């Protein structure tokens, strides 16, 4: 019909609505773009859903709530000359594309699959111009992982329900992650602190003062282990002549870190921004879907030539030629190099429309990417060797000669959660033969400390190093063991609970392979081999299943039921006087009377903040929403009209009385007035009867 708008002739299917919206901007009117909203087909939730007797054939079903989306996909595909499956460029994305292909009865030979590492106009159009077949090897690898996880979860979890308590779970990756945390906890418990000493000397030459560190004697380094040793040395050197016997000068170079992988991004976002790994991935997902960064699930440090050109132009324009250096980073062992490192899709982005979290993460990714293509930082280092009697003291200093990449970026460190800082220590001009005057000797007693507990960042680092899981699994793994209350957070450190310890002990004793790091890493390697068509997924599953199920059947009757001890507190029950115990409920921990059911007293655990209310000076209480998000409220905020204070915030108050907040919490105030609706008993009964009918 004349004047009628032409209907789109081609259909593009992606996972998310925001991704669909971004891609639609880059394609013409011939294209319609819709979202599957993730997986549409999966194993059934109510049963194993795997025919183990028939080559582990999966029994796929349309997921609950997805029937409407499946119908929409079918309806939209009708009459289209071409359907493109543009799901994410990884195994999960390939599996989603495969399921959609089967729903639409697209032939295996049809080139319907397009993939792109970044959602930019050029990348999307290039992908549309060169579609390919769905990669069945990647699909097989995803299926193998899904079936493997389903077997472990559905066969082992019921045992935990039976022997410990309902609602527990075991998993091929999550149980290993729990073991890592538990192993570190055992290291801490078994750690025996040892005494050691440090000795510093405050020395001077005219008006110049420096602090030198004890090294040893003329024969080499000496460890200081007790006070007697220190006192013996002080007796010899106190007030004697400190002579400079050697000065060593050298140039030190420091290279920038590579661009982000999923793991390194999660670690650095934790160190520098305080983000959980889950939050990091959620924010990164938004940035990717809106076309601002490349795909955020990768373990590759590779950069495309176009990306390097983009970085080169920006660095030279912003800092000058001497700050640019073309770099190629060596891939890590076992790294999958299917697509690039995480980087900005472009650098001319106006971040003012971003949320504060998106701004922070985008800037971090951008600076890391640019720094990876910048020059080395150069230091002039000086080491001065000072002799007093037969003992040696060292004096070291370094000056940044050229800041290079450090002009833009300094990498964080994990040392107890402390941030890395490069600082200059400028030394006075000294010469060999100079004699320094002793101002003060400063002995200091120290004790060795146990290793730090894992943070989310350091756990991800270890999981990556030991090849446990893949970039896509780090965040959900940690979320799962937190949700199961196997671990809890103490500030930012991960601490195993009593329940987590019991579960780990049982799995470690009876299912060594499931929690064995090497075994799990080998399974990940076999999944990679399936993706590369070097291994049959049926063979891999058969090899795992037979000994696993035989062992499970053998020991099921041997394991005794474990009682979880209750954690007693010194808080007295107001009703019966017994010491209340800590219990785990749906929304976290709470206090309960051990006299239940005779005494049903229960109340929340109230945590207090270490800073006063910025408005009235009262105590600030830490509370949780139903989704377990912390918020901060003054004890005097009763949420009523006569409340003495109205302070409530998502963010913890600072010590100076300020609050970093971009979004305020609003609570509906309850009133002291109560309105009652009069309903006669007769009418009430009548109403109930009507409803029944």
632 is catalytic: no
Residue 320: pLDDT band (50, 70, 90) is: very high
420 pLDDT above the threshold of 90 = no
Q: What is the DSSP letter of 467?
A: T
pLDDT in tens, 267-309: 999 999 999 999 999 999 999 999 999 999 998 999 999 999 9
The band of 666, judged by pLDDT with boundaries at 50, 70 and 90, is low
Q: What is the pLDDT of residue 245?
A: 97
User: Angle formed by the axes of helices 474-483 and 277-289, to 10°?
Assistant: 140
Closest CA to 378 of 403, 395, 411: 403
pLDDT average, residue stretch 224-232: 97
Radius of gyration of the chain (CA): 32
Q: Residue 543 has what DSSP assignment? A: H
Peptide bond into 35 cis (omega under 30): no
pLDDT digits (tens, 9 = 90+) for 370-416: 999 999 999 999 999 999 999 999 999 999 999 999 999 988 776 54
- Confidence band (pLDDT; 50, 70, 90) for 692? very low
From residue 181, alpha-carbon distances to 25, 277, 493, 498 in Å are 46, 16, 10, 13
Percentage, residues of the chain above pLDDT 70? 91
Higher per-residue confidence, 13 vs 338: 13
* Tokens representing residue 551 in the block: 């062992």
Using alpha carbons, list the distances in angstroms from residue 571 to 152, 367, 610: 41, 51, 21
Q: Mean of the pLDDT values across residues 333-357?
A: 84
Could you give the C-alpha distances from 449 to 131, 316, 434, in angstroms and in order?
57, 46, 38
Model confidence pLDDT, tens digit, residues 474-520: 999 999 999 999 999 988 899 999 999 999 999 999 999 899 999 99
What sign results for the dihedral spanned by CA atoms 303, 305, 310, 313? positive
pLDDT for residue 567: 76
pTM exceeding 0.85? no
Which residue, among 310, 319, 303, 232, has the nearest Cα to 261 in the 3D structure? 303
Average confidence (pLDDT) over 304-333: 90
| Nearest alpha-carbon partner for 260 in 332, 343, 336, 324 | 343
At what angle are helices 517-531 and 537-555 packed, to 10 degrees?
150
Q: Which of 571-575, 666-670, 671-675 has the lowest mean pLDDT?
A: 671-675
| pLDDT score for 641 | 79
> Residue 332: its pLDDT value, please?
66
The model's pLDDT over 433-458, given as tens digits with 9 standing for 90+, comes to 999 999 999 999 999 999 999 999 99
pLDDT cut 90: percent of the chain above it: 71
pLDDT in the model for residue 1: 44
Q: How buried is residue 607: exposed, middle or buried, by Cβ count under 10 Å (0-12/13-18/19+)?
A: exposed
Half-sphere exposure of residue 373, counting CA atoms within 13 Å on the CB side? 26
Instruction: pLDDT band for 586, please (50, 70, 90 cuts).
Output: low
Give the angle 156-161-164 at the CA atoms, nearest 5°: 110
Residue 175's closest CA among 510, 401, 413, 405?
510
Place of tokens 């790294």: 335
What's the whole-number mean pLDDT along residues 514-540?
A: 93
CA distance readout (Å), 246 to 233, 393, 394, 395, 673: 22, 11, 10, 11, 84
Active-site entry in 242, 288, 295, 454:
295
Distances (CA, A) of 300 to 117, 332, 671: 12, 8, 58
- CA angle 659–457–521, rounded 5-degree value: 160
User: Which pLDDT band holds residue 663 (cuts at 50, 70, 90)?
Assistant: low
């Amino acid at each position: 019909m004349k004047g009628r708008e032409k209907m789109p002739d081609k259909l593009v299917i992606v996972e998310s609505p925001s991704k669909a919206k971004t891609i639609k901007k880059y394609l013409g009117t011939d294209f319609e773009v819709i979202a599957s909203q993730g997986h549409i087909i999966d194993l059934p939730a109510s049963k194993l859903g795997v025919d183990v007797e028939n080559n582990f054939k999966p029994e796929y079903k349309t997921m609950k709530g997805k029937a409407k989306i499946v119908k929409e996909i079918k309806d939209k595909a009708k009459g289209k000359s071409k359907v493109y499956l543009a799901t994410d460029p990884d195994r999960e994305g390939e599996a989603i594309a495969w399921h959609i292909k089967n729903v639409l009865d697209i032939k295996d030979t049809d080139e319907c699959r397009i993939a792109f590492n970044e959602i930019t106009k050029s990348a999307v159009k290039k992908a549309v111009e060169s579609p390919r077949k769905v990669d069945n090897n990647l699909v097989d690898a995803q299926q193998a992982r899904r079936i493997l996880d389903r077997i472990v979860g559905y066969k082992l979890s019921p045992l935990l329900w039976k022997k410990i308590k309902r609602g527990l779970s075991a998993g091929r990756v999550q149980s290993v992650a729990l073991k890592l945390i538990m192993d570190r906890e055992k290291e801490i418990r078994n750690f025996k602190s040892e005494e050691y000493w440090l000795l510093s000397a405050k020395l001077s030459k005219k008006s110049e003062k420096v602090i030198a560190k004890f090294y040893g004697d003329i024969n080499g380094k000496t460890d200081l282990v007790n006070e007697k040793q220190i006192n013996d040395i002080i007796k010899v050197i106190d007030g004697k002549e400190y002579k400079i016997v050697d000065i060593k000068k050298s140039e030190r170079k420091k290279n920038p870190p590579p661009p982000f992988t999923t793991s390194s991004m999660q670690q650095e976002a934790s160190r520098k921004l305080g983000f959980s790994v889950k939050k990091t991935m959620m924010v990164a997902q938004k940035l990717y879907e809106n076309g601002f960064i490349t795909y955020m699930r990768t373990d590759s440090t590779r950069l495309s030539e176009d990306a390097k050109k983009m970085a080169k132009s920006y660095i030279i324009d912003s800092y000058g030629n001497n700050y640019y250096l073309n770099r190629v980073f060596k891939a890590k062992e076992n790294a999958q190099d299917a697509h690039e490192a995480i980087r900005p899709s472009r650098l001319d982005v106006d971040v003012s429309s971003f949320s504060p979290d998106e701004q922070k993460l985008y800037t971090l990714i951008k600076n890391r990417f640019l720094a990876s293509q910048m020059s080395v930082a150069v230091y002039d280092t000086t080491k001065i060797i000072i002799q007093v009697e037969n003992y040696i003291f060292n004096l070291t200093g370094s000056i940044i000669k050229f800041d290079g990449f450090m002009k833009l970026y300094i990498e964080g460190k994990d040392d107890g959660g402390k941030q890395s800082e490069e600082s200059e220590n400028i030394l006075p001009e000294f010469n060999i033969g100079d004699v320094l005057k002793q101002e003060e000797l400063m002995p200091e007693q120290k004790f060795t400390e146990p290793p730090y507990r894992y943070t989310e960042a350091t756990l991800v680092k270890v999981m990556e190093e030991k090849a446990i899981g893949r970039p896509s699994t780090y965040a959900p793994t940690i979320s799962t063991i937190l949700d199961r209350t196997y671990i809890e957070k103490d500030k930012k450190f991960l601490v195993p609970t009593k329940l987590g310890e019991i579960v780990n002990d049982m799995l470690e004793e009876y299912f060594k392979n499931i929690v064995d790091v090497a075994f799990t890493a080998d399974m990940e390697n076999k999944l990679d081999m399936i993706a590369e068509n070097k291994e049959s997924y049926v063979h891999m599953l058969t090899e795992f299943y037979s000994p696993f199920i035989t062992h499970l059947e053998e020991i099921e009757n041997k394991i005794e039921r474990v009682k979880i001890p209750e954690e007693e507190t010194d808080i007295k029950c107001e009703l019966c006087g017994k010491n209340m115990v800590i219990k785990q409920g749906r929304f976290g921990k709470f206090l309960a009377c051990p006299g239940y059911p005779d005494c049903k007293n229960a109340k929340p655990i109230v945590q207090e903040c270490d800073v006063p209310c910025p408005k009235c000076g009262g105590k600030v209480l830490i509370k949780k929403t139903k989704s377990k998000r912390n918020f901060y409220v003054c004890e005097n905020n009763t949420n009523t009209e006569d409340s003495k204070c109205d302070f409530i915030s998502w963010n913890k108050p600072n010590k100076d009385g300020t609050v970093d907040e971009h979004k305020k919490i609003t609570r509906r105030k309850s009133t002291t007035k109560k309105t009652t609706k009069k309903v006669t008993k007769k009418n009430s009964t009548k109403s109930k009867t009507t409803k029944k009918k």
